[in-house]
Amino acid sequence: MITIDGLSVSFGAVQALRGVSMSAETGKITAVLGANGAGKTTLLRTISGLKEPATGSIRMDDRSLIHERPENIARMGVGHVPEGRGVIGEFTVEENLRLGAMMAKVPLQAGLDEQYEQFPVLGERRKQHAAKLSGGERQMLAMARAMIAKPSVLLLDEPSLGLAPLVTAQLMHTIHDLCGSNNLTVILVEQNASSALRIADHAVVLHLGRVVANDVAANVAANEDLRQYYLGMVE
């Protein structure tokens, strides 16, 4: 479980987040929605320690994540699949996974087998350079690389970006499965609000760094104003 309270982050004179408070519960998917520049990516980067907040607190269960280095936060069990997926193209599929398994407690081979079972296409391409994979395959690799370390929190930044609708639907289904079967806390940042709301339990809408809605996903999906003004969902 992640609890955020009064979080403010700025880049020089620009304030990216202004007093954001929200929480993400264990075993649930919390979608963070909003337009470009709403502060969604900054939120994830601050949780995983890449960005130092000006004020506010972030807690994972009972531990504060503020002022920790990103590598330590990762080692506490926060998996972060960054914007653009962060797959290392020069590495093979298996090397990417081995890198992800670096801090895992489970034996490497068991971890690999488990991921290849979850994502069979990665198993078929284990010796290929990751640069050769398609967008959807890269997203799977990025998620497998995060999951192999057995995180308790998974942060996903725009996983559907650049993917075909069918692939996106499949991906959302996989995220839902992973969350349920591993009892994960998932924070899913998406511009593609309709896809995210279909699987999310809870949704937070950001606008210019502020929380404008924080409710059960179904309520957000049903709110005409939110859909129109903040999520750009026009029927």
Partner 1 sequence: MMDPILTSRIMSDVLGGLTNGVMYGLVALSLVLVWRSTGILNFAQGAMPMFATYLGMGLLSYHLSYWPCVAISIVAGFAIGGVTERVLVRSLYGKPEINPVVVMVGFLIVLEAVASAIWSTTPRGLPSPFSPIDWQIGGKPFGLSDFTLYEIVTGVIVMVAVAALFRFTKLGLQLRAAALAPEVSRLLGVRVGRMLTLGWMLSTAVGTITTVLVASNYFTGLTPQVMDSIFAFGFIAAAVGGLDSPVGALVAGVSLGIILQFVSDYLNSNAIIIVALIFLIVSLMVRPSGLFTKSSARRV
Which residues lie near partner 1 (CB under 8 A)?
48, 50, 69-71, 74-75, 80, 82, 86, 88-91, 95, 98-100, 102-103, 131, 145, 149
Give the C-alpha distances (Å, rounded to integers) separating 80 from 150, 160, 227: 12, 15, 27
Closest to partner 1 by CB, 59 or 91: 91
Question: Residue 152 and residue 43: Cα distance in Å, rounded?
Answer: 18
Question: Of the candidates 66, 50, 78, which has an alpha carbon nearest to the alpha carbon of residue 146?
Answer: 78
Smallest distance from partner 1 to CB 202, Å: 24
CA atoms within 13 A on the CB side of 81: 31
Smallest distance from partner 1 to CB 152, Å: 14
Closest to partner 1 by CB, 96 or 195: 96
Question: Residue 113 and residue 92: Cα distance in Å, rounded?
Answer: 16
Give the C-alpha distances (Å, rounded to integers) separating 231 from 10, 80, 182, 201: 24, 24, 30, 17
Closest to partner 1 by CB, 91 or 135: 91
Closest to partner 1 by CB, 72 or 219: 72
Smallest distance from partner 1 to CB 41, Å: 13
Smallest distance from partner 1 to CB 149, Å: 7
